[in-house]
Amino acid sequence: MKLFRYRTADGVKPGLMDESGVARDLSIHVGDVTPETLNPSVLAGIRALDASALPELSGEIDYAPCIGSVGKFLCIGLNYSDHAEEVGATAPEHPILFMKANSCIVGPNDEIRIPRGSTKTDWEVELGVVIGTAAKYVTVESALDHVAGYCVVNDVSERDFQMQLTGQWTKGKSCDTFGPIGPWLVTADEVADPQALALSCDVNGQRMQTGNTDKMIFSVAEVISHLSQLMTLHPGDVIATGTPPGVGMGQKPNAIFLRDGDVIELEIQGLGRQRQPVRADD
């Protein structure tokens, strides 16, 4: 299934994209797409519905983040071998973990705001993993059983804040609007192999990132298993699993960063597209 959340004059409502690509309103059956909705029995109930009987949505959809009430926003750094190479980093021995503040989460087509003082705001298309059932001390072999679904994430990053402000990467990762998620939460049963998904990112119509999740140093299952040894992963936790090459700081001979008026377009095979206009804060 492809679940989503959309904005109306009456607030955010849940939706479902049917097999024909028609957007449907789901609000008569569930109140929202939240951690509680990710319970396998709830998802099974939604899956059993006659989607064609749900009200059809007309006009342009104003997508909200595809999961509400996100728990932890966990991110894995330098998880693509070709990205590590482009930025001159050594491939890590264990997954590099950092956090994004949940307050950075926005919808897939919302504005990216360049914060005051920023000169190096960058883009990163990433596969997002949404946890559906609690995971603690899980094995690699059973890790994917705890996944509710997958989505597109733009791990927007301010490189000076990230690397020069003394502290953790979180400083450059958590600015307002730096976490677009969606448009859809594609349930795990529709993603045959999370390690075989093409990713891309265009800036102002120019292809900057092209990659595939088969280049991950640590697979989705390995990441989940590793994190579950350190903390319990709860329903509604989101994991951004790293980015392929082509980020702004990796451009040769000179780095390229976002400016007011730019447009970012991201896509992951089967998971949908994002489009974000970029605006500078006053």
Please tell me the distance from the alpha carbon of residue 264 to that of residue 38, in angstroms, as a whole number.
29
Positive/negative CA dihedral, 220, 222, 227, 228: positive
CA distances, 274 to each of 62, 102, 139, 249 (Å): 12, 19, 33, 21
pLDDT for the residue 185: 98
Domains of the chain, by residue range, sit at: 2-53, 73-280
How many residues are recorded in the chain? 282
Identify the band that residue 162 occupies on the pLDDT scale cut at 50, 70 and 90: confident
Q: Are strands 185-187 and 147-154 parallel, antiparallel or unpaired?
A: antiparallel
Alpha helices in 151-219 (DSSP H): 159-164, 170-173
Token pair recorded at residue 188: 């795990």
C-alpha distances in angstroms, 7 versus 124, 128, 180, 233, 239? 25, 21, 15, 28, 24
* Residue 222 in tokens: 């390995």
- CATH homologous superfamily of domain 73-280? Fumarylacetoacetase-like, C-terminal domain (3.90.850.10)
Query: Is pLDDT at 164 greater than 80 in this prediction?
Result: no
Residue 200's identity, in one-letter code, is S
Report which of residues 159 and 148 the model is more confident about: 148
Of the pLDDT bands very low, low, confident and very high (cuts 50, 70, 90), residue 170 is confident
Indicate whether this model's pTM tops 0.85. Answer: yes
- Mean pLDDT, residues 228-252 taken together: 96
40 φ, ψ to 5°?
A: -55, -35
Return mean pLDDT, the chain: 95
Confidence of residue 166 (pLDDT cuts 50, 70, 90): low
Q: Answer whether residue 15 shows pLDDT above 70.
A: yes
Report the pLDDT value the prediction gives residue 81, as an integer from 0 to 100.
85
Q: What are phi and psi of 252, to 5 degrees?
A: -120, 140
Find, among 23, 106, 101, the residue nearest to 68 by Cα. 106
Q: What is the mean pLDDT of residues 67-87?
A: 91
Residue 85 has what pLDDT? 79
89-143 tens-digit pLDDT: 788 999 999 999 999 999 999 999 999 999 999 999 999 999 999 999 999 999 9
pLDDT at 84: 79
> With contact defined as beta carbons under 8 Å apart, do 175 and 89 qualify?
no
Strand 179-180 relative to strand 105-106, pairing:
parallel
Strands (E) in the chain, as ranges, are 2-8, 11-17, 23-25, 73-77, 96-99, 105-106, 112-114, 121-122, 125-131, 147-154, 157-158, 179-180, 185-187, 198-203, 206-212, 238-240, 263-268, 272-280
